[in-house]
């Protein structure tokens, strides 16, 4: 396992239970939209890549013949299994693995989903090639993630926030970057929706077990932000803020 993947594994293994109970991850208009998109197929076989605590897998399982939830962290997969048991789902299985080297045969899945995971992938273009490989012809890759602004100042500010909060962060990609990676992997891609995700600062840092020094640095970064940046991220006096998200749907040729 490479250094960054080990960092992702270690960081999310120790905070796995926080993500099972996270309101941000358990709900959202994008999560509802993902389930609706999956339901367009008749009993698809679905892979949830970088599944975390399993909220996406749980929500698409009622619309699927079978769902496999894949993650680097065994501790995260234990949270998926707990949620599936609580919901009485019998068509949801787990598999430990790497999205950049998927442990599945070619053309295995009708749909691949991924939500709030891709900003931790060291080589997202490789991950998209692997996702294309395991999808059947005409299969879809549905991706929801935080995205960076095309404007460099806002992009830099967001990456700084993310890295101070979570040292395993790689990059929130721009919409244009995701579109280019989808197309390079052989997908026809649409942006289904965009939104602003409001975050409570205290919940955000507690969920990731951010060290106190980094929390102080984050607050100082917020306080020093320009008026343009403060408006762009809707920064509040209690350090609450919003970050942009986007939902993509790509169809494999």
The domain in which residue 111 lies consists of 3-147+168-195+244-252
Q: What is the CATH number of the domain that holds 16?
A: 3.40.50.150
- Identify whether the C-beta of residue 145 lies closer than 8 Å to the C-beta of residue 245: yes
Per-residue pLDDT of the chain (253 residues; tens, 9 = 90+): 557 666 455 554 455 455 555 555 665 899 999 999 999 999 999 999 999 989 999 999 999 999 999 999 888 899 899 989 999 999 999 999 999 999 999 999 999 999 999 999 999 999 999 999 999 999 999 999 999 999 999 999 999 999 999 988 999 999 999 999 999 999 999 999 999 999 999 999 998 899 999 999 999 999 999 999 999 999 999 999 999 999 999 999 8
Domain assignment of residue 108, yes or no? yes
Please provide residue 198's backbone torsions phi and psi, each rounded to the nearest 5 degrees. Answer: -75, 140
Alpha-carbon span 184 to 158, nearest angstrom: 26
Domain assignment of residue 215, yes or no? no
Alpha carbon of 98 to those of 6, 38, 72, 118, 238: distances in Å? 11, 23, 6, 12, 37
Domain assignment of residue 160, yes or no? no
- Identify whether the C-beta of residue 160 lies closer than 8 Å to the C-beta of residue 205: no
Alpha-carbon span 61 to 211, nearest angstrom: 36
pTM above 0.85, yes or no: yes
Instruction: Name the domain count of the chain.
Output: 1
DSSP symbol at 113: E
């Amino acid at each position: 396992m490479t250094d960054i993947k080990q960092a992702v594994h270690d960081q999310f293994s120790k905070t796995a239970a926080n993500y099972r109970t996270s309101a941000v991850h358990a709900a959202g208009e994008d999560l509802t939209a993902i389930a609706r998109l999956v339901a367009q197929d008749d009993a698809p076989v679905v892979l949830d890549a970088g599944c975390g605590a399993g909220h996406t897998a749980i929500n698409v399982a009622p619309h699927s013949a079978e769902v496999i939830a894949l993650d680097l962290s065994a501790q995260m997969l234990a949270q998926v299994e707990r949620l599936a048991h609580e919901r009485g789902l019998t068509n949801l299985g787990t598999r430990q693995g790497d999205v950049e080297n998927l442990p599945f045969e070619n053309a295995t899945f009708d749909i691949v989903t991924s939500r709030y995971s891709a900003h931790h992938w060291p080589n997202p273009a490789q991950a998209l090639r692997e996702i294309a490989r395991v999808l059947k012809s005409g299969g879809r890759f549905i991706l929801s993630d935080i995205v960076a602004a095309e404007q460099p100042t806002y992009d830099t500010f967001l990456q700084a926030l993310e890295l101070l909060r979570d040292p395993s962060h790689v990059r929130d990609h721009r919409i244009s970057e995701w579109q280019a990676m989808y197309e390079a992997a052989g997908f026809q891609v649409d942006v289904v929706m965009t939104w602003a995700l409001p975050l409570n600062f205290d919940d955000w840092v507690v969920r990731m077990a951010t060290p106190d020094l980094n929390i102080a640095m984050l607050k100082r970064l917020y306080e020093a932000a320009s008026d343009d940046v403060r408006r762009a991220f809707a920064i509040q006096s209690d350090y609450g803020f919003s970050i942009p998200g986007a939902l993509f749907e790509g169809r494999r040729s």
